[in-house]
Amino acid sequence: MIIYIASSWKNQHAVEMLTALLREKGHIILSWVENNYGENHNHVTKKFDFETWVNSRESDQSFKYDTDGATKSDIVIYLGPSGKDAAAEIGAAWAVGIPIYGLYAKGEDFGLMRKMVAKWFSRYTDLIEAVQKLQFQLLTTNANK
């Protein structure tokens, strides 16, 4: 499956580890962390202040990568607690019917919109198992078409 992980830079290492674990299971992960490092975006280089960067070509590339990841994947995983950008990606995924799984973290403050997340998990191992089950369901459904 193609998976996008919506999260925050404060969770960078957790995103990288979850990415590695899911890739070991054979999934394709669209990693905004790798995209930002690969394109040497402002978060990495600190070449500009945020307002200058957000109006740059580099930020346009990041925006497209992130919104495409959120709206064109087979599933989106929300790794919390995160911020406004991850919440917006969840909203975009939900609007186009992409299933969303959430990895709950202490301090999570998602309000009513947490209803967009189909399943919440408190352990990453349970999340990975559910992703594997979803992949099997999707494969079975597609085979029967």
pLDDT at 84 over 90: yes
Contact 9, 43 (CB under 8 A): yes
Place of tokens 């939900």: 94
Please report, for the chain, the start and end positions of each structural domain, with discontinuous segments joined by +. 2-143
- Residues sharing a CB contact under 8 Å with residue 51, sequence separation 6 or more, in sequence order: none
When the pLDDT of each residue in the chain is averaged and rounded to a whole number, the result is 90
For residue 115, the model assigns a pLDDT of: 94
Integer Cα distance of 94 and 92 in angstroms: 5
Question: How confident is the model at residue 38, as a pLDDT?
Answer: 61
pLDDT-derived band at 107, boundaries 50, 70, 90: confident
CA-CA-CA-CA torsion sign (56, 64, 21, 34)? negative
pLDDT digits 0-9 by tens, 7-61:
998 899 999 999 999 999 999 999 998 888 765 666 666 777 778 878 888 889 8
Lowest-pLDDT choice from 30-34, 52-56, 89-93, 118-122: 52-56
Q: Is 11 exposed, middle or buried (0-12, 13-18, 19+ CB in 10 A)?
A: buried
The CATH number fitting domain 2-143, selected from 3.40.190.10, 3.30.710.10, 3.40.50.450, 3.40.50.1100:
3.40.50.450
Closest by CA to 90, choosing from 118, 54, 63, is 118
3-state SS, residue 51:
helix
Q: What's the rounded Cα separation, in Å, for the pair 28 and 113?
A: 27
